[in-house]
Amino acid sequence: MNKLPLITVIVLSYKNYIYIYEALDSILTQDYGNIELIVSNDCSDDFDVDAIRAYIDLNKKSNITNVIINKNEVNMGTVKHCNKLIKVASGQYIKLIAADDAFYSDTIISVFVNYFISTESYVVASKAAVYDKDLNNYLSILPEDESLQSLLNLEPKKFYREMAKGCKIPAPAVCFNRKYFEEYGYFSEKYFIVEDWPTWLSMLRNGIKIDFIDFISVKYRSEIGTSNQGIIDAKKSPIFEKDYYKIIENEILPYKKLLGTVLWRKLKYLYVTEHKWDKLSSVGRILFYLAYVDIFIGKKIVGR
């Protein structure tokens, strides 16, 4: 009987089948001894269940102790898709990875599990190496902020205020302890494709610490998927933009007391000028200008 804690690695596929074998190879070569592998496609027509199963059966080692392959009959969106698979997973620890990404080395799962065992953390973040679409040319590291570790060491509600300015934790480089989902629930299904930023905001508001391991855990294709960087560029897609502003409406602006008046006003100003300005009447624009004249003048965009 395998005495190592079970970790479930969930591969999420949607219109990126051409890259999935690189993701699978990076999982099948992991040195950790007790891995459940779930591969699931969210109803795109580029997914071959039989080919995936045959490839895994041919290449897996004894450390892959269970395999589940799924194809959704209808498109659920990233958030519901993740929640469905987490509920199916048997592992004490859960690692989500997109089919167009890949683990950075063969020891990634071992590093995450050993950290969980020694700390009993709920969520552990790490770094992602950003590459081109072929995973040949290295471009940068996420997060780019050199001070992320010091931010993560802040008391959670102080870090919440930093996270409200933009998502600073790359979802591809995060691993979960199952107890987080058991105690606090699954990803919020208010959103369709963005599962990470609202989760970090909710965790931090509730005083839950996010831990950090200073190592690179994943290779991320910058030109393919939706990443932490996409949070900054809300115009990336209409679906993403809709989620982005809903997150601001639900997870940030209602918490004026926690944010503090100065930061809340800045965030409210950005939200209105980016998302609501064209919908305001002339009177509404004048009233908003009068209420936020200090920020308008500071930003030098009077008359926008």
User: pLDDT tens-digit profile of 62-98?
Assistant: 999 999 999 999 999 999 999 999 999 999 999 999 9
Q: Do 149 and 163 contact (CB within 8 A), yes or no?
A: no
Shared domain check, 283 and 170 = no
CA distance 178 to 94: 6
Both structure tokens of 242? 């809709």
What distance lies between CA 218 and its chain's CA centroid?
13
How big is the CA angle at 182 (ends 177 and 183), to the nearest 5 degrees? Answer: 100
Q: Which residues does 298 contact at the CB level (< 8 Å), separation at least 6?
A: none
- Whole-model pTM: value is 0.91
Sign of CA dihedral 93, 98, 104, 105: positive
Number of domains making up the chain: 2
Last-in-domain residue among 218, 235, 252: 235
Q: What domain range includes position 25? A: 7-235
CA distance 248 to 237: 17
* pLDDT of 152: 75
Task: Specify if 251 maps to a domain.
Answer: no
Single-letter residue type at 100: D
Task: Please identify every stretch of the chain with a pLDDT value under 50, giving residue numbers as ranges.
Answer: 226-234, 300-304
How big is the CA angle at 182 (ends 203 and 118), to the nearest 5 degrees? Answer: 75
**Total Cβ atoms within 10 A of residue 120:** 9
CA distance 118 to 98: 27
Shared domain check, 264 and 221 = no
* pLDDT of 301: 45
User: pLDDT tens-digit profile of 40-58?
Assistant: 999 999 999 999 999 999 9
Single-letter residue type at 236: K
Shared domain check, 224 and 124 = yes
Task: Specify if 248 maps to a domain.
Answer: no
Residue-by-residue DSSP string for 235-258: TS-HHHHHHHHHHIIIIITT-HHH
* pLDDT of 147: 65
Given the structure tokens 């799962």, which residue do they identify? 109
Say whether 157 sits in a helix, a strand or coil: helix
Cis, peptide link before residue 198, omega less than 30° from 0:
no
Shared domain check, 224 and 178 = yes
Shared domain check, 61 and 135 = yes
Shared domain check, 126 and 88 = yes
Shared domain check, 264 and 231 = no
Alpha-helical (H) ranges within the chain are 20-28, 49-59, 78-88, 108-119, 148-152, 156-163, 178-184, 196-205, 228-232, 238-247, 256-259, 261-271, 282-291, 293-299
Task: Specify if 137 maps to a domain.
Answer: yes
* pLDDT of 297: 76
Say whether 166 sits in a helix, a strand or coil: coil
Task: Specify if 249 maps to a domain.
Answer: no
Domain CATH for 24: 3.90.550.10
Instruction: Report the candidate in 2, 15, 18 with the shortest Cα–Cα distance to residue 113.
Output: 2
CA distances from 120 to 93, 113, 123, 207, 211 (A): 11, 10, 9, 16, 10
Sheet strands (E) in the chain: 7-13, 35-41, 64-71, 93-98, 102-103, 123-131, 138-142, 174-177, 211-221
Shared domain check, 22 and 80 = yes
